[in-house]
Amino acid sequence: MGILNVTPDSFSDGGRHIVVDDALRHAERMLAEGAAIIDVGGESTRPGSQSIPAQQELDRVAPVVERLVRELDALVSVDTSSPEVMRETAALGAGMFNDVRALQCEGALQAAARSGLPICVMHMQGEPSDMQQAPHYAEPIEEAVVRFLAERIAACEAAGIRRERLILDPGFGFGKTVEHNLRLLRRMQHLEALGLPLLVGMSRKSMIGKVLERPVEERLPGGLALAALAVERGARILRVHDVGPSVDAVNMTWAVLQEGLEP
Ligand code: 7PJ
């Protein structure tokens, strides 16, 4: 899954893809490099950011979704928590939703249910505006994440969304310290008990910056190491900025995993 930000304040792309033509070219390149899904986001959810009105998000995202669907052979995912944005982009041909708020916004469960599309539900503690202010958990992080995701699966099923439509994400960096993130990756197999495909996003995140002391533009090697470990621990979709290198890292990891353990 290649990341396509159409936010003016996104920390690692600096809003460069705000123009539709640029967005299209960037998506084309990610597809050529091996992406299967393009994740279009119009609301920045980086730590400290404020949410924006649905109309503003739609104004950013809709023209890009429309052209991606029309001109490229791609599954277009929309990174949104807004029921309005879900409804409008589903009508434009979006192929899945990616909601960092796990369909907890008013009306989101119903909008997602009506769309009939697959949905990625992610764990987050707090809101982007405050989530990195001393994150704390009363239980081991992996248990908190499994419990939350199990609750969201139940809420989805109660709203008429079959579990076969769901993809789960532990939400690296969303209300978590570096130690929480490292422990969660180490123990990601805990999430396999939920029996659904796992998606992870660690590309360029501050957990890499903190461990390696690297600025955002120097986090690719660290991110590839995390990608390999995530695949080994069950991740099946990786949300990344650097598609080409990530595809190589995943394919190399996969080749090793396909080798049986028999003597
Ligand atoms: C994630 C996301 C993630 C999912 C962002 C960034 C921050 N969606 N949207 N998982 N992160 N599903 O890309 O650094 O980890 S925005």
DSSP 181-245: HHHHHHTGGGGGGG-S-EEE--TT-HHHHHHHT--GGG-HHHHHHHHHHHHHTTEEEE-BS-HHH
- The residue nearest atom 10 of ligand 1, judged by CA position, is 201
Q: Report CA Rg, the chain.
A: 17
33-48 confidence digits (pLDDT tens): 999 999 999 998 888 8
The CA-CA-CA angle for residues 12, 224, 166, to 5°, reads 80
Quick one: which atom of ligand 1 is closest to the CA of 12? 14
Residue 5 pairs in a beta bridge with 41
Ligand 1 centre to CA of 260 (Å) is 33
Identify the band that residue 11 occupies on the pLDDT scale cut at 50, 70 and 90.
very low
Sign of the alpha-carbon torsion through 105, 234, 166, 145:
negative
Ligand 1 centre to CA of 252 (Å) is 24
Q: To the nearest whole number, what is the mean pLDDT of the chain?
A: 94
- The residue nearest atom 9 of ligand 1, judged by CA position, is 100
Q: Tell which wins on pLDDT, 70 or 19.
A: 70
| pTM (2 d.p.) | 0.94
Ligand 1 centre to CA of 201 (Å) is 5
Q: Return d(Cα 189, Cα 93) in angstroms, integer.
A: 34
Residue 64 pairs in a beta bridge with none
Position 9 scores a pLDDT of: 53
For a ligand 1 pocket test, name from 98, 101, 129, 226 the mutation site with the most ligand atoms within 8 angstroms of its C-beta.
98
Quick one: which atom of ligand 1 is closest to the CA of 120? 12
Identify the band that residue 17 occupies on the pLDDT scale cut at 50, 70 and 90.
very low
Position 10 scores a pLDDT of: 47
Q: Return d(Cα 243, Cα 59) in angstroms, integer.
A: 26
The CA-CA-CA angle for residues 251, 254, 257, to 5°, reads 160
Ligand 1 centre to CA of 171 (Å) is 7
80-97 confidence digits (pLDDT tens): 999 999 999 999 999 999
Positions marked catalytic: 205, 239
Ligand 1 centre to CA of 263 (Å) is 40
Residue 139, Cβ neighbours under 10 Å: how many? 10
Average pLDDT over residues 142-147: 98
- The residue nearest atom 8 of ligand 1, judged by CA position, is 100
- The residue nearest atom 14 of ligand 1, judged by CA position, is 205
Any residues with Cβ below 6 Å from ligand 1, and which?
A: 3, 45-46, 79, 98, 100, 120, 122, 169, 171-172, 199, 201, 205, 239
145-184 confidence digits (pLDDT tens): 999 999 999 999 999 999 999 999 999 999 999 999 999 9
Copy the structure tokens of residue 144: 């908190």
